[in-house]
Amino acid sequence: MSVQASPPLHIVAFCCHYCAYAAADLAGVLRLQYPATARIVEIPCAGRLDALEVLHTFEHGADGVMVAGCLEGDCHFQSGNLNAKRRVDFIRGLLEQIGLEPERLEMFNLSSAMARRFAEIVEQMASQIQALGPSPLRKQARSQPETIMESHTP
Amino acid sequence: MSESRNPRQPTGAVLVVGGGIAGMQASLDLAEQGFRVHLVESKSAIGGHMAQLDKTFPTNDCAMCIMSPKLVETGRHLNIDLYVDSEVVSLEGEVGRFVAKLHRKPRYVDLERCVGCGDCEAVCPVSLPDIYNEQLTARKAIYKLYPQAVPNAYAIEKLGVAPCRHACPADQRAQGYIALIAQGRYREAFRVIKEDNPFPSVCGRTCHHPCEGHCTRALIDEAVSIMALKRFVVDYALAYGRERVEPAARTRPEWVAVVGAGPAGLTAAHDLAKLGYGVTVYEALPVAGGMMRVGIPAHRLPKGVLQQDIDDILALGINLKTNSPVDDPAALLKEGYDAVCLATGISTRDRSLGVDGEQAEGVMSAATFLRKVNLGEPVTVGERVAVVGGGITALDAAAVARRLGAREVHLALDRPRGELPAYHWEMAAVEAEGIHLFEHTTLTRILTQEGRVAGVELARTGKGMTVDEKGRRRPRVLPETIFTLAVDTVIGTIGQQSDLSFLDPRFDELEADQDTLASEIPGLFVVGGRKTGASYIVEAIALGHRVARSIHAYLQGESPGAIEEPRPSPVKLDREQATRLYALDPARALPRQEPALLPIEERVTSFREVVLGLTERQARAEAQRCLQCGLCAECLECVYACGTDAIDHNMQPQEIELEVGAVILAPGYEAYRAELSQEYGFGRYPNVITSLQLERLLSASGPTEGHVLRPSDGRPARKVAFLQCVGSRDQEHDYCSAVCCMYAAKEAILIREHDPQAEVRIFMMDVRAFSKGYEEYYRRAQEQYGIQFTRCRVSEIKEDPQTHELILRHAGPALEGPGARSAAERMSEERFDLVVLAVGMEISPKVQELGRRLGVELDRYGFCATTTFQPIETSRPGIYAVGPFREPKDIPESVIDASAAAAMAGGHLAAARGLLTREPSYPPEKDVTGESPRAGIFVCHCGSNIAGYLDVQALTAYAASLPNVVHAEDLLYACSQDSTAKIRERIREHNLNRVIVASCTPLTHGPLFQDVIRAEGLNEHLFAMANIRNHCSWVHSSDRAMATEKAKDLIRMALGRALALEPLHRQPTPIRQSALVLGGGVAGMSAALAIAEGGFEVDLVEREAVLGGQLRQIHLGLPGVSEGESADPADLLEDMISRVEKHASIQVHLESELVESRGFAGNFTSLIEHRNGERREIDHGATIVAIGGAEFRGDTYGYGTHDRILTQRDFEALLAAEMNPIPRDQGPSLELKDVRQVVMIQCVGPAETVCARTCCTVTLKNALHFKRRHPQAQVAIIHKDLRVYGFKERLYRQALDAGILFIRRSNGERPMVAFDHPEGILSVQILDAILRETITLQPDLVVLSMPMVPAKGSRELASRLKVPVDMEGWFLEAHVKLRPVDFASEGIFLAGAAHYPKLLDESIVQAQAAASRAMRLLARESVPTGGAIARVDPSACVACLTCVRICPYGVPRIDESAVGAGGIQGAAYIEPSVCQGCGTCVGECPAYAIELLHYRHSQVEKEVIALLRPEEIWTSSEVGS
């Protein structure tokens, strides 16, 4: 692996099963190109996500976190996306309190047909995080994963 | 099916026709109720029209989002057999025991093998209009209907064999190589030519090209220059290097000898060598090639070109022995050849010309002449030559004679030049070379001098033939035309024949079978006997193929009949169809390209090739002229590209026979073909589109990704007009399509949402916003989105040819409100960027044909005839019609129909429930508790879809290097059958307890792999997927290194998650197989009967002392809505009550109400209380709410203060009393016979703001009944919109015909009803919205159309059942579109007017639907509960009620008996059987006391940690930890 000047940024994208994850799938089918910085973690509903999980994700060294759920009013589980939104707003407040830019966390809503929108939000998030730079938490959290991996290979 | 079955027992299977939303719903309901379903769809995938929609009204839900789970479920259901590409051709038998015959069109793609990877699509050269995108864009001939299509497999659109291919004896896929040439893919073109023809070079230069004679393009102008195109490809391949031919693998021990190295012999040798046989070719001449070599002059076919083809054939490993004549083929068999093929072709002996003087010196046959020249033997022709004959050989001989130095060459043709199989330019070229042409001329005598030719006597021929003294047919000579020419040489080209006279006389009688080419000597095959000769090279090639197939069959011991492959019929288009194809692509509008020729002076002095061939530019232009009339070009590119060998271009149609007990017809509608309304210019003006096209434009996955762009120039449409009722409510359609108003409002809203600058105007007659939530939606469109609704019909659209803007002329402005003037005042003109035609619903001719085939009665529009009281039953018992097929309707009503039909069909077949269903069978599950994780990772190439963009080898190696991974492997297609078998093998081999597949999306493929591991005894939850295709290779296709790194991350994450996974099990919970139905009206009784017929117990609870509900107050049917129907509600009432009371499975509880209900789906316990205070506990599995509604009562318009102000119900009772001397409920208080004028007022009370759906219909019904009895009386109806939807529109038309007056009022203007005293004269005053004048009427009666309102006590009941009601008090369904009779709480269902005002038929259908939904549950003895659901750890729970409050389904409750945190009594409990698994409670629980199984905190976090701090996760992992 080539040595890079700055380590690649990592964005964790929590995507709900019925809309956001499916929109990401469709973006693939349509071959839409977007930055390779986001890694999707599938959850059944955006409402499933709890605050501590998001905070832990930052603690583990994520540079950005995005939560993507169904369109408002269209949640497959009725209101999970609205609960998620409320929680995301709350967590952004916490981030601010601990001195982390709240812009590192964003909530998005999209339908499963909105592939273009998915590509756009990844792009938006990528440039947003690019502008903020690596998370200050990740220095202690992460060194080069490959070397550590090797040492842990049985 | 077992024969021993009771003959009276019905077949437990149902045929569902149509795979749209209704067909899917009916199938799913039936399959869940214990029946086998055969779902037949004529397209290549299910989904129907709903799959095309962007959003759905009135909730603006994404159509695909809500539908795709149903698609997947239908596609994977064990008891639904999907027959796509299929149609029902016949149905025999009767209800309970039908036999259906299906015709399945060839798809040319094997559904079992296709993995939907799309590699084929990428290489397909043929573009066709994309039907799914309403022709706004193009798709390939091999296509998947839409990205989410089920089955997830490709299909090929092929009309049949292209006529060019069909005409070719050698079956050349001409359309195929032409399509490839058009794209500049010459190597591929060459490859497909060689597929069927080992002599492409020859056939590109000298072929009689019957292909061009059959070319469809000739219907437009001239045929495509197919031969020249073939030559171009060959020359290109030659110029840029043909691919080296590798020797064919010897896979078979047998040897074959081929005698004769002509086109037939070498083709046979070629085919046999490729089949793996050893082949030796014997040739008498010193060179190979036969007539191609010695019969065709070099200026037409250069020797080097021919040699290329021969070399390629020999390179397969064929032995060629030249100078080796064979006269005893049987000897070869004795020598050890297993078969011998005699392919010696045309005889070398010259045949007689049959004229005097033919023995003279200087007379020779063309064949001999050409052979000598071609073999380099000396030939002298002298100064003057006459060539006689009528074929291409004559042309050749003349041209050669000229090149040998003859100054004068005469060519006498016995036919006109046009009949020669030569191009017109070839004839012209010959003439240009100085050869004299005589047409219609024959040789009558050869003049001789001293035994040498001195001249010829020629004569013109007349029509017809004569027979000469030797019995030969000869052209009829016109004696007066005889003339002579002095010549030195005569070359005759009398047709040649193949014969076998060179053989040993023993073989004189040798004959071969015309089909198999086998002689009577076993192992000896003959091409070129008396019967089996070829006239043209390409025919010889065809014979070569055939004899090779025959020899192969012989050597394999197969029956010789097997050699004929069935061939699909050729495409035959008429001029109109051809013109349509022609118009598809502007590049087709080019003249035929002709190849350049060598200059004359160079021609006659050398044997250089005359025809120079097409230039590349010419070739591509010419190839583009092809109309692609076969659609699929059969270029075989897909076959080469497919990695799973799924494509079979020879697939044949199939006839399938199915035994079923009942049939549900859900064939759906066809959008009105807007081009038929010529005044709107659809098809002529690019910016006039249909509403379905707009739907695709609005879709984020559509051709413009949701941007509304003008088709003419791709610019945003800023001003959009909708024209309503296109194909509805007009001269040709007497019905309303019921959906157009709402979808137009929806599309208008979406346009505005997308582009707030856009201006949208809807031109309409009435806005039919008649159902729940529609009125609010309509109002929101106006108020919130500023959409203008203009009440007028646009008469014509014109186009500004410069800007493509559309100019609409209409009466108006006609906007409602103050200041608006009368419509008649002026016409105005307005310009728009885009005009959308809101097209109505029709029944396609194909569906009408189906209806007739199946023997169900149709109305004159082709809709299926059904009746009010049996709304989904067709005229043939056991066949049900659902969806728009029986009346135009929207999605929820189609879904309701579908469920209802499932209940009805199931009712007939109750005795056979479960007999034909399949259960999944798995081995016992392995207990992996305590084992350390042993993961297997399978990395998929997905053909080139992943491997093309990611380094799969590196990924596999990386996966293998990860901890806990005991096996990693890459697979070409992980989902193909051989790969899944391999995964199973590896699970056994390595004792895997975690499986990770790195491929595509778990949404479509997760269940498949879960099934695979379960089949090996692994719990299906010990599986994870890394989506390295949709989320990686496809979206980062430009950076291989980066994408590969990301894929490594994704694999590591999936592994991290997998290590934290645990087995989950669903436990069977026994259920009570009975239902409680609340409400004894028409809905309640219908539901109870449907469930009882289905074989389950029902408790029916009615508040009143009698059954019947509101039906008791309905006395009159709807006249003339369904053709020829007269339905008396009294009959229905009587019939239903008697059936309910007699049914052994229905227990009726009158004067009773529900006071309490607890439990969950399958296990409810309810308490009902009789009016006398007696209480009774009922255990039941399902609950149906059917408590109906009530007529509104209020003092609006003076109701209750004057005895001549009535409600419609009062009025109906009066009418009924008048018709029937013994009234049912009460005696009449009023006589109608003296009434001269009635005024009816619509939209009364709450209906002033919210439409109550049924009032308009009831009003028209009563008005019509009254008017028919009292034609002299006047009826005036004061209304806003008139909302009679579907066939109810016919009431409106009848009312207009009957002279009923309609006075339209605007929203704000309410009529004034006045009278001086309670018996005094009534007066009604209203401002007419159209005339803008106040009208005063003095009626004898004022009839108020009171809307239906929720029944008393509905809110209380809702709270007892813990189900929601809306603002007005109507019960709220789980999902407006797709779960219209379910409550969000499992096990409780909704029917009839408790949901919203309903007409009788609507209530009946909805009740049957609710019954169907209930029976899905009741049909099982137990329901599996558990799985990925939320679970409370009581010891951590502080009973704070957070989960109780947040759960959208109201599932968590506080269990008082549980011990919570700190030992305090009371903790939350989540009932596994009702938890929906969203995890909202988990996200909210402040004490971390709830876990969502399969998405535990540890599992989600492990995935994150694996990404970010991988070193942390490998430390401790134990199954179930």
| Ranges of each domain in chain A | 11-134
Question: Quick check: A12 pLDDT over 50?
Answer: yes
Mutation target for B interface from A39, A108, A123, A151: give the one with most B CBs within 10 A.
A39
Exposure b/e, B741-763, CB count within 10 A at least 16 = b = bbbbbbbbbbbbebbeebbbbbb
Nearest to B1511 among A31, A48, A148 (CB): A148
Chain A CB contacts of B1053 under 8 Å are: 39, 41
Give the start-end residues of each E strand in B1095-1185.
1097-1101, 1146-1149, 1152-1160, 1163-1170, 1175-1180, 1182-1185
- Amino acid B776 reads E
Tell if the CB–CB gap between B64 and A60 is shorter than 8 Å: no
Find the angle CA(A132)-CA(A138)-CA(A144) to the nearest 5 degrees.
115
Over chain B (1521 residues), the average pLDDT of each successive run of 10 is 62 97 98 97 97 91 87 94 97 96 96 93 95 94 94 94 93 95 94 93 89 95 95 87 88 95 95 96 92 89 91 95 91 93 72 78 88 89 88 87 91 82 79 88 89 90 76 77 91 70 75 85 82 76 93 88 70 93 91 90 87 93 95 95 94 96 97 94 95 94 91 95 96 95 97 94 94 94 94 90 93 50 65 97 97 95 93 96 97 97 95 93 92 95 91 96 95 88 96 96 91 95 96 94 96 95 92 97 98 97 96 90 74 95 97 94 95 96 97 92 94 89 57 91 94 96 95 96 95 95 92 89 93 93 96 93 90 92 93 96 97 96 90 95 93 93 94 91 95 95 93 56 37
Distance CA B73, CA B24 (A): 9
Gap from A124 CA to chain B (nearest CA, Å): 16
- For residue B837, the cross-strand partners are B690, B723
Task: Phi first, then psi: give them for residue B589, nearest 5 degrees.
Answer: -85, 65
Nearest chain B Cα to A53, which residue?
A: B1501
Question: Percent helix, strand, coil in chain B (nearest 5)?
Answer: 30, 25, 45
**Contact indicator for B87, B850 with CB cutoff of 8 Å:** yes
Tell if the CB–CB gap between B1035 and A154 is shorter than 8 Å: no
pLDDT at B498: 60
Q: Which residues 989-1028 of B are in CB contact (within 8 Å) with A?
A: 1001-1003, 1027
Chain A CB contacts of B63 under 8 Å are: 113
pLDDT at B771: 94
Q: What is the DSSP letter of B243?
A: P
Mutation target for A interface from B66, B946, B961, B1478: give the one with most A CBs within 10 A.
B1478
Chain B CB contacts of A141 under 8 Å are: 1508-1509
pLDDT at B1521: 37
Distance CA B447, CA B225 (A): 43
Q: Which residues 903-962 of B are in CB contact (within 8 Å) with A?
A: 961-962
Task: Phi first, then psi: give them for residue B759, nearest 5 degrees.
Answer: -110, 130
pLDDT at A135: 93
Helix crossing, B424-432 with B392-403: angle to 10°?
A: 30
pLDDT at B505: 76
Secondary structure element (H or E) that encloses residue B1409, with its range: helix B1400-1418
pTM beyond cutoff 0.90: no
Q: In sequence order, what are the residues at sequence separation of 6 or more whose Cβ sits closer than 8 angstroms to the Cβ of residue B397?
A: B366, B369, B370, B387, B389, B491, B493
* Tokens describing residue B960: 């293998």
Chain A CB contacts of B1034 under 8 Å are: 28-29, 31
Q: Is 0.95 exceeded by the ipTM?
A: no
* Tokens describing residue B1208: 């419609």
Give the start-end residues of each E strand in A17-124.
38-43, 64-69, 105-109
Tell if the CB–CB gap between A60 and B1479 is shorter than 8 Å: no
Chain A CB contacts of B61 under 8 Å are: 74
Tell if the CB–CB gap between A87 and B1483 is shorter than 8 Å: yes
Mutation target for A interface from B1488, B1500, B1517: give the one with most A CBs within 10 A.
B1500
Task: Phi first, then psi: give them for residue A39, nearest 5 degrees.
Answer: -125, 125
pLDDT at B527: 85
Tell if the CB–CB gap between B1036 and A33 is shorter than 8 Å: yes
Q: What is the CATH number of domain A11-134?
A: 3.40.50
Tell if the CB–CB gap between B1478 and A77 is shorter than 8 Å: yes
Within 10 Å of residue B986's Cβ, how many Cβ atoms?
19
Distance CA B45, CA B310 (A): 47
pLDDT at B817: 43
Q: How many CB pairs under 8 A join A and B?
A: 202
Task: Phi first, then psi: give them for residue B858, nearest 5 degrees.
Answer: -120, 155
Distance CA B411, CA B416 (A): 12
> Any chain A CB within 8 A of the CB of B1508?
yes
pLDDT at B1222: 57
Mutation target for A interface from B50, B61, B701: give the one with most A CBs within 10 A.
B701
